[in-house]
């Protein structure tokens, strides 16, 4: 039993085939944005529609289509679902032990202004986590932190998804850009340079845009100095590191410079008015009353604050360790060196890295060039970012001093709370895999690539946007459409480096509407079943930002060619 992908299977036409392939995506948009279905119902029904189309319209054998869905579902649970489970679990440990009250107080000691808290937590701290871990960890943890500070859960999730736009292309120690070197043959450093000449424009704008969404024009201008410190410091560091160091460190360095730069700036500069959300005025008055009554406001020592933040400091250290390339190879059982410690880790990693072939599917699907496509269940148990977070939680158990009974009970509560979000994630990733293996996503990409020499530079980022929406990953979108971008660019006289970089830069704007990201964000803030509300919140911002990237790419192709390395 085998299957060869055909991109003109409907009416012998690429356009018609692409339109049919678009049906599950349009249905998913309708299900969430208009019908407001619960996420897991929208995800499961979208998967079923994709399976029916793959079998009937794209002539994919039913067994292969179903097995491709199982491959995606397994990937949805590990590593993606595992990250969200462990992230929420770590956060709940700090809440249950009372440490989060101290964390909240320490952030409020820097600023009580909601606008500035969003910049510190959603933009800077979230970008650091994106650079270290990627996948769902940055949105899950930063959104949970904002909710703990008193943000509306929907707002917290939406702001963190939008803020996550700036760092995604260089996430997880630069994996999206490093990965696309393989299928395109373009050196990762060249792509890094080009992305670093596109995204800084967005990185400067995102902090301003976040505050605009929260507070409107007038309230945004009030804190313009802080916005500039946050955005400009991030963008300049992002440009310098991506162009002179490579794709591995831009997120780590940019976020740290932005975070500490803004925190230090706020020691010497304060906004004239403190912005709070509507309904918080009574809280503000109560807070003012407490300040007038000596001894009523809790005061925490430096040691107490350090202890409260320790779980997240441990998380940062462990995740950063997991991201170091040589350690990552050992964790996945692929280390070939002689270091005895790494050899020991490698032995354990080898046992806990399972890659069984997907029955019926492996090497039985052929691309248009007649090459077989490998299909494996990739279970990197030790090397998964979620395992790094779980180890952080175990270490933190001894810091926050919770009993093993309490620890296990909290983990059980977390699993129970996340059962529907994990179902949502599993179903939408399964849908992505069916779309890819049947040839649906490639048909849509090839159709978009036919827009021509004048329009393609503008639409090039939309390919990345579509890829991230489908797969939930800038890395996967680059692997899916990177070579298509290169081939199309060469055929119309466009720089292939610019086109491949635009795929990654455009992809970052699709992250906020990806079904996986929506499910992760809702799970983190306790909004399981409300995915449609979050999707409606982010979709307009996603379309606006990808259009900006399209304009930037078109201008660089047409007028500012000197910016292309």
Q: What is the pLDDT of residues 506-516, one digit of tens each?
A: 999 998 988 87
Distances in Å between the Cα of 174 and the Cα atoms of 270, 318, 484 are: 35, 17, 21
| Lowest-confidence region among 145-154, 165-174, 385-394, 404-413 | 165-174
Query: Is 294 a member of any domain?
Result: no
How many structural domains are present in the chain? 1
pLDDT at position 294 = 42
In the predicted model, what is the mean pLDDT of residues 384-395?
89
In the predicted model, what is the mean pLDDT of residues 178-186?
75
Q: Domain limits at 192?
A: 3-287+301-563
| Lowest-confidence region among 273-277, 364-368, 488-492 | 488-492
Tokens of 161: 């998804």
pLDDT at 443 over 50: yes
Q: For residue 231, what pLDDT band results from cuts at 50, 70 and 90?
A: very high
Nearest Cα neighbor of 229 from 246, 250, 211 is 211
Query: Is 400 a member of any domain?
Result: yes
pLDDT at 420 over 50: yes
CA distance 80 to 562: 39
pLDDT at 185 over 70: yes
| Lowest-confidence region among 56-60, 110-114, 410-414, 478-482 | 478-482
Q: Tell me the percentage of the chain whose pLDDT exceeds 90.
A: 32
Query: Is 486 a member of any domain?
Result: yes
182-191, 315-324, 518-527: which is most confident? 518-527
Query: Is 292 a member of any domain?
Result: no
Query: Is 224 a member of any domain?
Result: yes
Asked if the bond preceding 214 is cis, omega within 30° of 0, the reply is no
pLDDT at 138 over 60: yes
3-state secondary structure of 223: coil
Nearest Cα neighbor of 491 from 459, 451, 458 is 451
| Lowest-confidence region among 140-144, 194-198, 320-324, 543-547 | 320-324
C-alpha R_g of the chain: 23
Give the 3-state DSSP-derived string for 145-175, with helices as H, strands as E and coil as C.
HHHHHCCCHHHHHHHHHHHCCCCHHHHHHHH
Hey, which residues does 372 pair with through a beta bridge?
366
4 or 249, higher pLDDT = 4
502 or 82, higher pLDDT = 502
pLDDT at position 539 = 92
pLDDT, averaged across the chain: 85
436: Cα within 13 Å, side-chain hemisphere: 27
Burial of 371 (0-12, 13-18, 19+ CB in 10 A): exposed
Nearest Cα neighbor of 464 from 474, 454, 472, 455 is 474
Nearest Cα neighbor of 133 from 321, 313, 394, 309 is 321
Query: Is 92 a member of any domain?
Result: yes
Query: Is 551 a member of any domain?
Result: yes
pLDDT at position 173 = 67
Tokens of 12: 């012998």
Residue 6, C-beta contacts closer than 8 angstroms, at least 6 positions apart? 17, 58, 59, 368, 439
Hey, which residues does 353 pair with through a beta bridge?
380
Query: Is 293 a member of any domain?
Result: no
């Amino acid at each position: 039993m085998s299957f060869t992908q055909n991109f003109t299977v409907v009416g012998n036409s690429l356009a018609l085939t692409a339109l049919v392939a678009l049906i599950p995506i349009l249905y998913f948009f309708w299900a969430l944005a208009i019908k407001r279905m619960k996420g897991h119902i929208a995800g499961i029904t979208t998967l079923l529609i994709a399976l029916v189309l793959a079998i009937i319209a794209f002539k994919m054998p039913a067994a292969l289509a179903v097995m491709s869905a199982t491959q995606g579902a397994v990937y949805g649970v590990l590593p993606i679902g595992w990250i969200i489970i462990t992230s929420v679990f770590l956060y709940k440990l700090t809440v249950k032990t009372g440490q989060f009250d101290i964390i909240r107080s320490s952030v409020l000691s820097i600023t009580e202004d909601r606008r500035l808290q969003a910049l510190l937590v959603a933009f800077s701290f979230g970008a650091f986590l994106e650079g270290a871990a990627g996948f769902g960890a940055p949105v899950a943890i930063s959104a949970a932190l904002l909710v703990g500070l008193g943000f509306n859960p929907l707002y917290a999730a939406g702001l963190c998804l939008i803020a996550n736009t700036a760092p995604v292309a260089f996430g997880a120690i630069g994996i999206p850009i490093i990965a696309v070197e393989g299928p395109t043959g373009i050196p990762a450093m060249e792509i890094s340079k080009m992305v670093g000449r596109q995204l800084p424009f967005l990185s400067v704008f995102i902090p301003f845009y976040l505050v605009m969404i929260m507070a409107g024009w007038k309230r945004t201008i009030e804190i313009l100095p802080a916005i500039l410190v946050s955005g400009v410091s991030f963008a300049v560091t992002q440009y310098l590191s991506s162009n002179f160091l490579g794709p591995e460190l831009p997120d780590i360095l940019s976020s740290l410079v932005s975070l500490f730069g803004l925190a230090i700036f706020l020691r010497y500069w304060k906004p004239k008015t403190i912005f709070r959300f509507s309904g918080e005025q009574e809280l503000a008055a109560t807070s003012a009353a407490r300040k007038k009554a000596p001894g009523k406001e809790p005061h925490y020592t430096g040691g107490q604050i350090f202890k409260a933040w320790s779980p997240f400091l441990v998380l940062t250290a462990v995740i950063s360790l997991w991201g170091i390339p040589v350690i990552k190879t050992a964790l996945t059982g692929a280390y070939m060196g002689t270091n005895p410690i790494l050899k020991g880790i490698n032995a354990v990693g080898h046992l806990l890295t399972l890659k069984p072939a997907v029955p019926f599917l492996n090497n039985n699907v052929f691309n248009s060039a007649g090459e077989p496509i490998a299909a494996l269940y990739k279970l990197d148990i030790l090397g998964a970012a979620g395992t790094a977070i779980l180890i952080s939680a175990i270490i933190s158990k001894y810091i926050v001093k919770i009993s093993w009974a309490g620890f296990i009970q909290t983990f059980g509560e977390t699993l129970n709370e996340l059962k529907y979000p994990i179902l949502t994630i599993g179903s939408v990733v399964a849908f992505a895999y069916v779309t890819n293996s049947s040839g649906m996503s490639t048909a849509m990409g090839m159709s978009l690539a036919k827009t021509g020499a004048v329009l393609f530079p503008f639409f090039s980022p939309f390919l990345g946007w579509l890829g991230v929406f489908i797969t939930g990953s800038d890395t996967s979108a680059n692997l899916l459409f990177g070579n298509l971008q290169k081939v199309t660019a060469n055929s119309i006289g466009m720089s292939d480096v610019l086109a491949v970089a635009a795929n990654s830069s455009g992809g970052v704007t699709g992250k906020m509407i990806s079904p996986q990201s929506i499910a992760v964000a809702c799970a983190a803030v306790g909004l399981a079943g409300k995915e449609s509300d979050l999707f409606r919140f982010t979709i307009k911002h996603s379309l606006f930002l990808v259009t900006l990237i399209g304009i930037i790419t078109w201008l660089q192709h047409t007028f500012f060619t000197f910016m292309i390395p």
